[in-house]
Structure 1
Amino acid sequence: MTEPKPAELLSGAALTAFRLNGQFLAVAEQLARPAGLTAAWWQVLGAIVDEPLPVAGIARAMGITRQSVQRIADLMVDKGFAEYLPNPAHRRAKLLQLTAEGRAAMSRITPDQRAFADRLANQLGVEEFRRALDALEKMSAALDTLAD
């Protein structure tokens, strides 16, 4: 058997990542729905669980466009899951912060998310799960370096 060429490895990695993204989104939709959220809403709210962030900061952390985060952020504010706060570091770029309702929605997801994580860890084995995460993080860091 011949060693795969880098172009074949890149194609395989990309196709697998696209499939994995779809699988993660499907699971996230199932987990978020009972809390009244979508996967995208959960993703944005998850970015501000620990601290308020500007929309551009959320977009950078998630690797998506500022415009898509802005649409979701505005919707989250309209639904009462988040609120805008003044940003002392930047007059125009307000901070997005979870409201009590947003925290409650996130809390409703946590038990099912933990149960799913346990099932996945049992399926893979914790050590294999850790190696997979490690490989994904290394691939992401390498892509960041090459993109610069």
Structure 2
Amino acid sequence: MSHPRRTPTGETLTSLIPDLFRLNSLLFTAGDRMVAGLGLTSARWQILGAVIAAERAQPVAWLARDLGASRQNVQRIVNDLERDGLVTFETNPHHRRAQLVVLTDKGRQAFDAAMRLQLPWVNALADGVSQKDIETTSRVVAALRRKLESSEASA
């Protein structure tokens, strides 16, 4: 009886996955160091970015979905952001219990300050890597993410 084998592409992706895990860890660590002086962490910064990126105020569950994170973890971080005055909650006219997360002026200032710190860092990180390679990587990551999201939705 023959055993299934990875395709050459599957083998290449398998060898890439540990590097992606390590890259994710390194990005969060670098982000934590970068924004620590602002009273932020990478996770808090990421959620502020999701609030800003949303076309309108969203409940925590929608933010979690957009981030691919658990609702409980996002709720915990949003509660911390609210306690520190970076976001506030507003009544959701469509769902009484799922309040909307709204950025405050203080939250916008913190996010903008983080992005000012990120600018020289990201430029230095990208130095020596071709824009075309980064664009290709972005397309591959997006395609893999879509496949994983659609398999989760159908599971």
- Fold conserved (TM > 0.5)? yes
Question: Match of 1:28, SS?
Answer: helix
Cα offsets for 1:115-146 (capped at 9, x unmatched): 12212222312121111111111111121223
Q: Which residue of 1 aligns with 2:20?
A: 17
CA distance in 1, matches of 2:21, 2:137: 16
2:142 corresponds to 1:137: yes
CA distance in 2, matches of 1:61, 1:13: 24
CA distance in 1, matches of 2:24, 2:122: 16
2:60 corresponds to 1:64: no
Unmatched runs of 5 consecutive residues or more in structure 2: 1-6
Cα offsets for 1:71-103 (capped at 9, x unmatched): 111111111111001111211100111111111
Q: Which residue of 2 aligns with 1:35?
A: 38
Cα offsets for 1:47-91 (capped at 9, x unmatched): 101432110011101111100011111111111111001111211
Greater C-alpha Rg? 2
User: Conserved in 1, the CA contact under 8 Å of 2:45 and 2:114?
Assistant: no
Cα offsets for 1:2-56 (capped at 9, x unmatched): x7473x3453233122111101101211222122101111111111014321100
Q: Which residue of 2 aligns with 1:128?
A: 133
Question: Percent of counterpart pairs with the same letter?
Answer: 31
Unmatched runs of 5 consecutive residues or more in structure 1: none
CA distance in 2, matches of 1:5, 1:83: 46
Q: Which residue of 1 aligns with 2:4?
A: none
User: Conserved in 2, the CA contact under 8 Å of 1:54 and 1:94?
Assistant: yes
CA distance in 1, matches of 2:118, 2:149: 28
Q: TM-score, normalised by structure 1?
A: 0.89
User: Conserved in 2, the CA contact under 8 Å of 1:35 and 1:106?
Assistant: no
CA distance in 2, matches of 1:133, 1:31: 23
CA distance in 2, matches of 1:139, 1:118: 26
Q: Which residue of 1 aligns with 2:104?
A: 99
